[in-house]
Amino acid sequence: MKEVILVKDGELALKGLNRSTFEDKLIKNIRRRLSHLGKFHFEKAQSTISVMPENGDTDLDEAAEIIGKVFGIVGYSRAALCDKDFDTILKTAEEYLYNKLEAVRTFKVESKRSDKKFPYKSPEISREAGAYILKRHPHLKVDVHNPDLIVYIEVRDRYTFIHGNQEKGAGGMPVGTNGKGMLLISGGIDSPVAGWMMAKRGIELAAVHFASPPYTSKRAEMKVHELLRKVAQYSGRIKLYTVRFTEIQEAIRDNCPEDTFTLVMRRHMMRIASMLAEKEGCQALITGESVGQVASQTIYALGCTDKAAAYPVFRPCIGMDKTEIIEISRKIDTFDISIEPYEDCCTVFTPKHPKTKPTPELLEETEAVIDWTELLKIAAETAEIRYISLREDAE
Ligand code: ATP
Ligand code: MG
């Protein structure tokens, strides 16, 4: 029996975008994600994309799992594909869904006929298929309001699709339909969640991580790679810049008052991230900041950080509680990695009493003691580049 995956795209999100741009991008994203599983053929009709493997032995379990993480999809289901012969349709429906029909108590059949030349109308198809199934599964009852299983029969132009309940998709918009953002990723809980949230809105991700060897270790950098690999399951491949931040942090330590260390550091992060964002053609920076979470995230501190950025700073976690952020990090499987205890450059030279009500003017004055231009330029230009794919072997 030939099997395909039917994908329902997120039509409600389509307001500003033209449908075919949205669908073409979605198809491109799905095709790229499935490329290691073999060749697929795609057909679009009635806000459904049919993903059809060209070879019979393609691993559809893995394909469905991958599709479940592609943004821009509301729901998806595996489906049997059969000819448009009425007896074949009934037989295929019962055989294909046999295990599911055995496992439930109630069902109903929903039919759709987009080929109006097909000699049976939708209610007739549903009625006949319902009777056929009941005869072979006498324990079942029909429940039209709240059935355990819905048997869908869709008669299209060239073939018929048959499937059961659909799985919930990842939602959002296809990555790449809303520009590109530079994610500042630490090894913590919040920034991978922030990246995931913006990728969900169709933003392609690039990333920057600041490392301060020898104060921070290689293992801390590898943790960031692992985190991004999880995010990449949803966003697709991510280009990561690892910036050597040691000299800048030491210069801050040697030249600035202790209570401004963290803020000056964060402003320099924004400056370097902005340079890399320009190089990558990004339109925004993305951070995992949440208002009030730590001293560098008071409303005053965030205002000072913003002033150093050359792009809008997207902070999708801004109004979330830590527990809410953790909930997402568990869902996207980054939590266990994030809580591994490796040092971050933010914890190097942390002031005992950081300023919680700084002003941009005060920080500008503080920063004016030395010329940072060259240090920042070198840090951006010598950043190590690495591509993080969803699978390690694909890098
Ligand atoms: P997270 O859990 O994401 O580490 P946090 O609550 O620990 O966040 P901070 O350490 O103050 O907060 O960092 C705030 C944000 O600054 C992070 O979410 C991240 O976007 C960015 N950031 C912090 N450290 C780094 C780093 N080493 N490299 C890149 N970005 C960083
Ligand atoms: Mg952190």
Centroid of chain to Cα 202? 9
210 lines ligand 1 (CB under 6 A): yes
Residue 175 lies in a domain: no
287 lines ligand 1 (CB under 6 A): yes
pTM: 0.93
For residue 105, the 8-state DSSP code is S
The residue nearest atom 26 of ligand 1, judged by CA position, is: 186
What pLDDT is recorded for position 34?
A: 95
For residue 335, the 8-state DSSP code is H
The reply to whether 200 and 324 lie within a common domain is yes
What pLDDT is recorded for position 393?
A: 65
The string of DSSP codes covering 347-389 is GTT--SS--SS--HHHHHHHHTTS--HHHHHHHHHT-EEEEE-
What pLDDT is recorded for position 16?
A: 58
296 lines ligand 1 (CB under 6 A): yes
The reply to whether 267 and 388 lie within a common domain is yes
The reply to whether 362 and 217 lie within a common domain is yes
The reply to whether 298 and 159 lie within a common domain is no
Longest dimension (CA), the chain: 86
The reply to whether 125 and 221 lie within a common domain is no
Give the DSSP H/E element, type plus range, for residue 128: helix 122-136
What pLDDT is recorded for position 14?
A: 61
Ligand 1, residue 192: give the atom nearest the CA.
Answer: 3
Q: What's the 8 CA to ligand 2 centre distance in angstroms?
A: 37
Residue 239 lies in a domain: yes
What pLDDT is recorded for position 13?
A: 53
What pLDDT is recorded for position 18?
A: 80
The total number of structural domains that make up the chain: 2
10-residue mean pLDDT series, the chain (395 residues): 91 65 93 95 89 93 96 96 95 97 97 92 96 97 96 94 96 95 97 98 98 95 97 96 97 94 96 98 97 86 96 98 98 96 81 85 95 97 96 67
Structural domain including 228 reads 180-394
What pLDDT is recorded for position 15?
A: 60
Q: Helix, strand, or coil here: 227?
A: helix
The reply to whether 252 and 163 lie within a common domain is no
Backbone torsions φ then ψ of 60, nearest 5 degrees: -75, -20
Please name the residue that has the structure tokens 């940072």. Answer: 372
**Best CA proximity match to 60, nearest among 5, 1, 97, 2:** 5
The reply to whether 234 and 281 lie within a common domain is yes
